[in-house]
Structure 1
Amino acid sequence: MMVTEKNQIGNEKEQTREIKTGARGPVQRTERTLAPDLARGAMLLFIALANSVGFFMPFEPGFDTTPHGVERGWNFLMNVLIHARAFPMFGVMFGYGLIQLTQRQDAASGNPLVARKVLLKRNGWLILFGFLHAALLYYGDFLGGYGIVGILITLLLLRRGARVHAIALWIQGLYLLFTIVLAVLVVLGLTHDTHGTATLPGNTISSLSSPDYLSSVMARLSEWPIHTLTLLGLILIVWLGVWAARHRILEEPARHVGKLVVGTMLGLGVAIGGGVPMGLFSAGYLHPDEQTLQLITILHQVSGMFGGMGFVSLFGLISLALMKRSAAPRANLFVGALAALGQRSLSGYLFQSLSWVLLASPYTLALGSKTSSPTFVAAGCSVAVWLVTVAAAGLMQRCSYRGPAETLLRRLTYGKQHTPRPSSQVQQHL
């Protein structure tokens, strides 16, 4: 880790000022852990693939219901690996970040009320970010939901003891048991009738099919509150991230290899296995009756929650392997750019929504309606937009620029005095 003498002196002055004033500023680049940044940067590709479908095919259930040829395989992969499986990882990481922020504030001030104040302020602003994101770009916003959950965690769970936080693991155990029961019921249902004619109920999403921008805004204003309320169940996933952060699993992956291996195998095994029935149905290879399809749908949603545990654990192992291979893994061009995007995941997420509005809305380029295969147009645009954000984040990192959304949120949370100035030196760090 290389830090210039000038930056060391600046950091010491900043730390002294933080101790005197109580609250410290946002996390410095030299304090960041590789695994969370790498996970967020990589998984933004899955978020792009999941969210873009709604814009290019503005109706539920979120995939082509009459797939042909290669589209069948793509529908299968999307439902097994991505749909309802990617976003839980960000929930786990959100909970992990709540503890990291708390620990930094506690170390600087020694006053638990300081961290509480910062967290409440930051999550309050996050709710406003979510409202603006939904009103201007995408009704399926997660920021507002995370903000509400963050406030609930701060008020109800943050300062609880180890026994209380161990409940998060028991809840995962109950989820696992429920998932197994659902899987058995699905198998029994399919054994009973494999020639059903059930179809998923589909409906057009008003904001995504609106003929002009103003009407889309009005539609989103009514869609966002309902969608946000459905996200409050994320508190159980966020709580798992709180538990993991209290044990420093990603900061010290070498000490927790066993947990990471079990988390990867169990999490991804359940998520993938539970997604297979929906994957086969979406690909047109499975024909259940109505009752069995309802069970398949529930199984798909419940098992997907384990994707959070699985993907976080997987990236913990990947980061450990990278750190063993190199003392400065971020020095690698691609790894560094991917981690840089993870540091700027809020900006990357918002840029994706802006891209879908410009590329797919009926009142803009409307690319989805100009092709016979909107599925692959959406996939191609998702990969392209993600690569743009990876490259842009890498360039921002070299220029020591945090990212527009992150800069604004930090400024609102910590104030001007704690907003770090860009340095002319690019630091290498783990």
Structure 2
Amino acid sequence: MSIDTAPRTPRGPVRRAERALAPDLARGAMLLIIALANAAGVVFAGEPGLDATPEGAERGLNLLLFELVHARGYPVFAVMFGYGLVQLARRQDASGATPKQVRSVLLRRNLWLVVFGFAHATLLYYGDFLGAYGIVGIVMTLVLLRRGDRFHRIALVLWALSAVEILVIGAVVTSGLLGGSGGSVPLPSGHVDSLAAPGYLASMLARLGEWPVHTLTVLPFIIITWLGMWAARRRVLEEPARHRSLLTWTAVLGLGVAIAGGLPAALVSAGWLNADESTASLMLVLHGGSGMFAGPGYVAVFGLIAMRVTRPGPVVGALSALGRRSLSGYLFQSVAWLVLLAPFTLALGHRFGSPTATGLIIAVAVWLAAVLIAHLLDKRGQAGPAEIVLRRLTYGPRT
């Protein structure tokens, strides 16, 4: 059964540019959101990264982080992972591979992603997503890839049910705020031992215990990757003009739910709203649940932007170049956090005034460096180093 179910449209020059641009642009921009979230987490050795006693401008930074970044980066990663899996399968189909051969390629690639994830977590950063998405990719390849359109509509039903759940939790949080005891507690923040470890060996040993637990918490979000698969089957990002209405509504509703659901926790994190302990804990549940809607919301925004770009300039071109090397960009960030922010290396996050502001500035600088490197590699026609290794492991040495 073919996975290419979308009606085909004329293939003029603009159409080809759209198909190449939108997914890569989304992946490149996605890495900025991930950088901001992870840098804050490393600076404060917690999840989410949070200054519990903000002052002045830090209050506004906390609010923006909770509204736009925390628990809002990985859903973009997840949507694009599901989208990319279908793109890869489609390219294999077009090359003449049989369904069995396509399945074999995808399984090998995702098994190697699990290995990449284990190495990434052990050596660099506990909050690895590669291993979890490798496992999810194996499940999607075996269970979802060759299903028909009617089966894939289940993903839309699950998202509708999730929206109802968010509404219910939001109502409970509102009720708790209106009828609470008036107490005031900070938002719960999970301490991460590896991020506070005094030495590299101690951090690595801690990560060996943290990675399996973190990976298990990510696995249920297959619902997000499934939506990416559903969108890829319809070429939503390759042909954004044909899906303008869908992208517009997804951007408005997705980001609207994420911002509204994240607002109570954001206000508490900024010190502008008080809540008792039970309500504060439920706020974080609402914050995390609503954050999954930011994934399709952000991706839809990138699709709408790509639709208006007929001739990519240097900025869009560089972002797209990073998107085509997103695995290398993701690992590059983790190396940067270890060198720049870890307490046993340069520990720059606590050397210059506000740790929150410093962490965010470093995150943007690291992301911009990745954009520049990707652009230089693109001009030379070179893939990212991690992509080269993964491709070689998946397909074998070139003959």
TM-score tier (shorter): over 0.9
Preserved contact between residue 18 and residue 306 of structure 2 (Cα < 8 Å): no
Q: Per the alignment, do residues 254 and 61 of structure 1 end up closer, same or farther by CA in structure 2, a change over 3 Å counting?
A: closer
Q: What is the percentage of aligned positions where both structures have the same residue?
A: 56
Match of residue 148, structure 2, among 144, 158, 161: 161
Question: Which residue of the partner structure matches residue 119 of structure 1?
Answer: 106
Equivalent AA in structure 2 for residue 135 of structure 1? T
Deviations 1:65-100 (A, max 9, x none): 100000000000000001011210110111011111
| Separation (CA, whole Å) in 2 of partners of 1:164 and 1:382 | 40
Question: Which residue of the partner structure matches residue 78 of structure 1?
Answer: 65
Match of residue 405, structure 1, among 383, 386, 390: 386
**Residue 227 in structure 1 maps to residue 234 in structure 2:** no
Match of residue 39, structure 2, among 47, 52, 57: 52
Equivalent AA in structure 2 for residue 376 of structure 1? A
| Separation (CA, whole Å) in 2 of partners of 1:118 and 1:39 | 24
Preserved contact between residue 45 and residue 195 of structure 2 (Cα < 8 Å): yes
Question: Which residue of the partner structure matches residue 422 of structure 1?
Answer: none
TM-score, with length taken from structure 1: 0.87
Question: Which residue of the partner structure matches residue 22 of structure 1?
Answer: none
Match of residue 106, structure 1, among 75, 78, 93: 93
Which secondary structure state, in structure 2, belongs to the residue aligned with residue 166 of structure 1?
A: helix
**Residue 416 in structure 1 maps to residue 397 in structure 2:** yes
Preserved contact between residue 194 and residue 287 of structure 1 (Cα < 8 Å): no
Equivalent AA in structure 1 for residue 334 of structure 2? S
Question: Which residue of the partner structure matches residue 355 of structure 1?
Answer: 336
Question: Which residue of the partner structure matches residue 351 of structure 2?
Answer: 370
Which secondary structure state, in structure 2, belongs to the residue aligned with residue 379 of structure 1?
A: helix
**Residue 390 in structure 1 maps to residue 377 in structure 2:** no
**Residue 337 in structure 1 maps to residue 318 in structure 2:** yes
Preserved contact between residue 188 and residue 281 of structure 2 (Cα < 8 Å): no
Match of residue 39, structure 1, among 8, 15, 26: 26
Q: Per the alignment, do residues 30 and 68 of structure 1 end up closer, same or farther by CA in structure 2, a change over 3 Å counting?
A: closer
Query: Which stretch shifts more, 170-179 or 366-375?
Result: 366-375
Q: Per the alignment, do residues 99 and 203 of structure 1 end up closer, same or farther by CA in structure 2, a change over 3 Å counting?
A: closer
**Residue 288 in structure 1 maps to residue 293 in structure 2:** no
**Unmatched segments (≥5 aa) in structure 2:** 1-15
Q: Per the alignment, do residues 121 and 32 of structure 1 end up closer, same or farther by CA in structure 2, a change over 3 Å counting?
A: farther
Structure number, greater radius of gyration: 1
Match of residue 66, structure 1, among 42, 53, 60: 53
| Separation (CA, whole Å) in 2 of partners of 1:103 and 1:236 | 21
Equivalent AA in structure 1 for residue 386 of structure 2? A
Which secondary structure state, in structure 2, belongs to the residue aligned with residue 249 of structure 1?
A: coil
Deviations 1:96-152 (A, max 9, x none): 111111111122225100110000000000000000000000000000011000001
Offset at residue 202 of structure 1 (A)? 3.9
Match of residue 159, structure 2, among 172, 175, 188: 172
TM-score, with length taken from structure 2: 0.93
Preserved contact between residue 128 and residue 144 of structure 1 (Cα < 8 Å): yes
| Separation (CA, whole Å) in 2 of partners of 1:160 and 1:56 | 44
| Separation (CA, whole Å) in 2 of partners of 1:60 and 1:175 | 23
Equivalent AA in structure 1 for residue 376 of structure 2? L
Preserved contact between residue 207 and residue 217 of structure 1 (Cα < 8 Å): yes
**Unmatched segments (≥5 aa) in structure 1:** 1-28, 419-430
Preserved contact between residue 253 and residue 297 of structure 2 (Cα < 8 Å): yes
Offset at residue 60 of structure 1 (A)? 4.1
Question: Which residue of the partner structure matches residue 424 of structure 1?
Answer: none
